[in-house]
């Protein structure tokens, strides 16, 4: 059964970011905007963990934590408190030892670190969480913005507001009114994204577009990429690269180890002799000689393929051939390579800006929506908070132009986010 996470914050944007990120990682996320409502949701929906801000209306985070510890039938539930204002060591210590918080986190949150802390509190791995989520169909958790729980007949306890002497709350910012002279967004219907052919050069599609197209189509096979004398073969399982072979010597496992100072060139030479005599790989030879550990070998086997994939994603010249086959699946047992993370970093550097500008500027009046079954892919990316905020505005109701405007008005950044996710099949233009 999917694990439930209750997120409590009076700022809608923060709730949205946390719901997007934690939901993509595998949690069923419930959200609430005040402490009283959060406790009612806790009682009604039995979340496995709670992540709550300290400054909340009606019942602050400290009180919420104490009520969970003293009044609920699940007092051992992990409760993480967070704040951008209360940062002293005394407050952090009191949150844990006086109010019973599992941990106290400072805003702005490091999303990946926060996710890992919550997982550790549940004694789970990412694989455990994903398996639990896969056991039942994806469903959105209750959201107080749309589904406030019924109010109980018993009156809530009196709120305890922080003393003005302890914290200065900034004045709310007012959003500038939209200019009446703004041009209306284009209503031109966008063309469907192209399918990846089985053979072509990179003049029509860059290597990045080709690999994202394979991911979008969830294709399985081997893609051979050629640029001059450089040849690479990437093995792809349901769109996800799992291994990359390359003719470039500097991308080989021993070359990477020597460069990082893990082994010496002399140790590599001796291991190569053993590898040839025993008909085994250089990595196994280094392992058997005691030069490296099994953990180091696993780390560098992954790094070897990641480096090769990262390089080929930059190609704009050369050609490729793709063969649909699953014959390699029984032989190649490797963890998936971080294609979307590498693609994200590449697009942030402007690799496809011209393409994205041309497509999405013309599709401003087109609604953009998430593809529910592909949402876990969002969790494969180590997002910048600003970029993740953009994904929270993609809801199947807003147009491209509205997503741009309501996420801050930076069209280049918004187009990069929408473009990456559309090419990966995670969102679509409706």
pLDDT, block means (10 residues), the chain with 430 residues = 94 92 94 96 97 93 96 96 88 93 93 95 93 68 50 38 36 40 57 93 94 97 97 98 96 96 96 93 93 94 96 96 95 92 96 95 95 89 88 93 92 97 96
Question: What is the four-CA torsion angle of 368, 135, 5, 97, rounded to 10 degrees?
Answer: -150
Half-sphere exposure of 397 (CA within 13 A, CB side): 4
- So what's the pLDDT on residue 347? 96
Q: CA–CA separation, 41 vs 30, rounded Å?
A: 8
Whether the Cβ atoms of residue 57 and residue 10 lie closer than 8 Å to each other: yes
Residue that has been written with the tokens 């196994």 in this structure: 284
Q: What does DSSP assign to residue 137?
A: -
- So what's the pLDDT on residue 132? 87
Residue that has been written with the tokens 């099994």 in this structure: 294
- So what's the pLDDT on residue 1? 84
- So what's the pLDDT on residue 144? 57
- So what's the pLDDT on residue 333? 85
Alpha helices for 203-335 (secondary structure H): 207-217, 253-259, 265-278, 282-288, 294-312
Whether the Cβ atoms of residue 223 and residue 234 lie closer than 8 Å to each other: yes
The CATH-assigned architecture of domain 4-134 is 3-Layer(aba) Sandwich (3.40)
- So what's the pLDDT on residue 141? 60
Q: Spell out the domain ranges in the chain.
A: 4-134, 199-337, 340-429
State both tokens at 15. Answer: 């709730």
């Amino acid at each position: 059964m999917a694990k439930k996470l209750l997120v409590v914050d009076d700022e809608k944007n923060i709730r949205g970011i946390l719901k997007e990120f934690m939901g993509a990682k595998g949690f069923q996320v419930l959200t609430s905007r005040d402490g009283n409502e959060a406790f009612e949701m806790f009682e009604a929906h039995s979340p496995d963990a709670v992540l709550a801000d300290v400054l909340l209306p009606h019942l602050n985070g400290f009180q919420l934590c104490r009520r969970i510890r003293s009044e609920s039938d699940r007092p051992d539930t992990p409760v993480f408190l967070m704040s951008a204002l209360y940062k002293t060591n005394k407050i952090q210590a009191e949150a844990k030892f006086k109010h019973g918080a599992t941990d106290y986190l400072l805003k702005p949150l490091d999303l990946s670190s926060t996710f890992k802390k919550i997982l550790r509190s549940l004694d789970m791995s990412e694989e455990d969480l994903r398996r639990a989520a896969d056991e039942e169909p994806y469903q959105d958790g209750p959201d107080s913005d749309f589904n406030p729980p019924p109010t109980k007949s018993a009156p809530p306890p009196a709120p305890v507001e922080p003393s003005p002497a302890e914290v200065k709350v900034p004045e709310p910012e007012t959003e500038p009114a939209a200019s009446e002279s703004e041009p209306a967004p284009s209503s031109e219907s966008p063309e469907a994204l192209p399918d990846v052919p089985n053979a072509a050069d990179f003049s029509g599609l860059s290597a990045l577009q080709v690999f994202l197209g394979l991911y979008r189509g969830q294709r399985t096979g081997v893609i051979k990429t050629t640029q001059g004398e450089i040849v690479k073969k990437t093995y792809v399982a349901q769109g996800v690269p799992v291994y990359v072979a390359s003719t470039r010597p500097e991308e080989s496992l021993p070359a990477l180890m020597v460069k990082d100072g893990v082994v010496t060139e002399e140790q590599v030479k001796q291991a190569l002799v053993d590898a040839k005599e025993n008909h085994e790989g250089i990595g196994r030879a280094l392992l058997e000689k005691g030069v490296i550990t099994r953990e180091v070998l696993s780390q560098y086997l992954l790094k070897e393929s990641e480096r090769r994939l990262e390089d080929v994603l930059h190609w704009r010249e050369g050609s490729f051939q793709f063969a649909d086959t699953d014959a390699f699946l029984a032989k190649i047992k490797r963890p998936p390579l971080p294609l979307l993370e590498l693609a994200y970093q590449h697009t942030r550097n402007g690799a496809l800006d011209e393409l994205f500008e041309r497509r999405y500027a013309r599709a401003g009046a087109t609604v953009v929506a998430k593809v529910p079954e592909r949402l876990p892919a969002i969790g494969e990316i180590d997002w910048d908070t600003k970029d993740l905020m953009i994904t929270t505005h993609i809801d199947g109701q807003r147009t491209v132009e509205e997503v741009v405007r309501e996420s801050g008005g930076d069209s280049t950044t918004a187009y990069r986010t929408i473009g990456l996710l559309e090419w990966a099949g995670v969102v679509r233009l409706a």
